[in-house]
Amino acid sequence: MSAGLQIKPVVVTRAESSDGPLSRELRSLGLRALLWPAVSVTTADLGPLSAALAAVTSFGWIVFASRHAVAAVLERLPAAPEGVRVAAVGQATAQVLRQRGLAGGPGAG
């Protein structure tokens, strides 16, 4: 970097620790990561999830929108029932599904 070039910090709005992958990558590029999480993940009332999972064999699909949703469901349902397809919104969520032994890419079946 040029001595005259002043680089501003990069604000990281995802919930990650100071040694998270995005922060590490930014630091490796010589940038300063300012952690400012815009989303907080908390445990909600799990009654509706439990009720939905009780009827999961009637589902055609389970679509996950976040890695947190994958964790919440798979704590209660170790595998998708026969005939229920699994998909993910986004590559990071799909990767978590694959790590847990389930397919889950966009358009997966």
pLDDT in tens, 39-70: 777 778 889 999 999 999 999 999 999 888 99
Token code pair at residue 24: 């590490």
Give yes or no for residue 2 having a pLDDT over 60: no
Going from N- to C-terminal start, the domains of the chain cover 9-40, 47-99
- E runs forming strands in the chain: 10-12, 33-35, 61-64, 85-88
**The pLDDT of residue 47:** 92
Q: What is the CB-side half-sphere exposure of residue 5 using CA atoms within 13 A?
A: 6
Q: Which residues, 6 or more positions from 64, have their beta carbon under 8 angstroms from its beta carbon? A: 70, 73, 86, 87, 88, 89, 93, 97, 104
Query: What tens digit of pLDDT does each residue of 9-22 get?
Result: 899 888 776 678 88
